[in-house]
Amino acid sequence: MHLSFFFKPLNLLILILYFSCSIFFIHINTPRQTRLDTILESGKITVITSNNSNCYYFYRDGYMGFEYDMAKAFADYLGVELKVLVSDKWENMVSDLTKAAGDFIAANISITDQRQKDVVFSKGYMEIEQYVIVHRNNRSIKKISDLLGKTIYVRRGTSYQEQLESIKNRGVDFTIKFVEDLPTEELLRRVAKKDIKITIADTNIALLNRRYFPGIKMACSISQKENLGWAVKAENRELLEKINLFFDLIKGNGRFKKIYNKYYEGIDSFDYVDMAIFHRRLKARLPRHRSIIIKASEKYGFDWRLIAAQIYQESHFNAWAKSHAGAYGLMQLTRSTAKSLGVKEIYNSSQNINAGVEHLRNLYNHFDKSGDSDRLLISLAAYNVGQGHIWDAMNLARKKGLNPYQWQSIMITLPLLRYKKYYQKAAFGYCRGTEPVNYVKRIMVYYDILKYQGIEYRALNKRSSPQQKDYASFLSR
């Protein structure tokens, strides 16, 4: 083409239009980078969640929680690493999502019209209702109208607040007392202890926590059925579609049910630790494990009655026991603990008991700065909740001017780790701190009974059956 062609005005205009259109078409045909693309390229995805028993927490050997396990499964599905960002308040979660500090919210969040103004939600993965929660002896509330004149405690910014305000607007007058930075489970505990009379909880949270606080009762529903969902930013539609495909997949292949059952199986049934059952099981179940308990206790330097009391607390002497938290056998060993102690068959009574007692001894050896009685109780608590949380409780005791090596101090500081004010500064984060305290108390009650029975059964007369004499000899050893 001759150079004179380019200098003619009309031809120059044609060339400009040609190249402009070419650049335009190249631009529109180039795929834009989506958030999902960025996640896959970086090899990691960040979930925004809460540090509590329903979502995400540290227990014994590692992290767990229903939302955490679901998010981990989603990360595995994408082939990326899961990162966790803890942000308890709803408004903080949305802020973290908006600032791209995290990729999606998975925090036991119900899908409401108000929340859909800020984010877009996935398909619902669990159906729930909101229930009025009272103490089991409270028979005054059976329907919504019975809330008239009552005081109800909830955390500000929750869907419970939205629902209660809607009910008030319909003419049922009651007082809403707002609490700051307290998880629902803490309010349930306070109802069980009769510190407050009424709170609200989703069905999954209420049923799960009846295991820990059997004094609570679900009085009446205050909502229609709602769904829990995961949330993303409105522009991240590709990520949302991937989440929905993931939910379809795990509900189809049984993965969702497996995760659900780990935390919620049997939540609609529970029983009290009944002393009559304890005595019956001592006679029916304890003798079959007696020689193993005695030998393991002697090997590692413990009173066998203490180990028997711990085994009852862990498994009620059921060699096939499996907890919702993934612990197995008589001494409720986790897979990782069992493997580290050389256990080949986790349900084998001898291997399970010996490994459990060895694990307790290792913990006991670690807490060597405490006196003997404190050391034992601290070791039992560490067996229940993990060594890391005990370190956190000890550090907190130091800050409060308490002796970190005394059980009395740990009894004060360990339960504080359920409050955000304390656990956000702790190395191992949120801890259901009242549980190990109660765990130790119950073991010591059973231990005391066993010691007493060891004396009592010596009085069995000569007319006792061979089985009774054998049992008496075992108890009084």
pLDDT along the chain (477 residues), means of 10: 52 56 48 82 96 82 89 97 91 91 95 92 96 94 96 92 94 94 89 96 89 87 95 95 97 91 70 65 90 95 95 95 91 94 96 97 96 92 96 97 95 95 94 93 83 51 45 49
Quote the pLDDT of residue 214.
Answer: 80
Q: Is residue 354 classed exposed, middle or buried when 0-12, 13-18 and 19+ CB atoms within 10 A define those classes?
A: buried
pLDDT of residue 27: 46
Q: Which helix (H) or strand (E) holds 135?
A: strand 130-135
Chain-centroid distance, C-alpha 258: 16
Q: Which of 470, 453, 434, 443 is nearest to 311 (CA)?
A: 443
Rounded CA-CA distance 71/230 in Å is 10
Same fold, 130-223 and 275-475: no
The helix (run of H) or strand (run of E) holding residue 240 is: helix 237-253
DSSP string over 213-225: -TTEEEEEE-S--
pLDDT of residue 90: 83
What CA–CA distance (Å, rounded) separates 477 from 466?
Answer: 16
404: which 2 tokens? 């970190």
Domain segments of the chain: what residues? 35-126+229-264, 130-223, 275-475
Length in residues, the chain: 477
Domain 130-223: state its class: alpha beta
C-beta separation of 196 from 187 below 8 A: yes
Indicate which residue of 314, 345, 435, 456 is catalytic. 314
pLDDT of residue 60: 59
How many other CB atoms are there within 10 angstroms of residue 124's CB atom?
Answer: 16
What pLDDT is recorded for position 8? 56
pTM of the model: 0.71
Phi/psi of residue 406, nearest 5 degrees: -105, 140
Architecture of domain 35-126+229-264: 3-Layer(aba) Sandwich (3.40)
- pLDDT at residue number 327: 93
The CATH class that applies to domain 275-475 reads mainly alpha
pLDDT of residue 11: 59
Round the CA-based radius of gyration of the chain to a whole number and report it: 29
Positive or negative: CA dihedral 72, 75, 79, 85: negative
Please say whether the beta carbons of 48 and 107 come within 8 A: yes
What is the model's pLDDT at position 313? 93
Told to judge if 314 belongs to the known catalytic residues of this protein, a careful annotator would answer: yes
- CA–CA distance, 48 with 215 (Å, rounded to integer): 32
Q: Quick one: DSSP state of residue 33?
A: P
Query: What are 35's two structure tokens?
Result: 């958030």
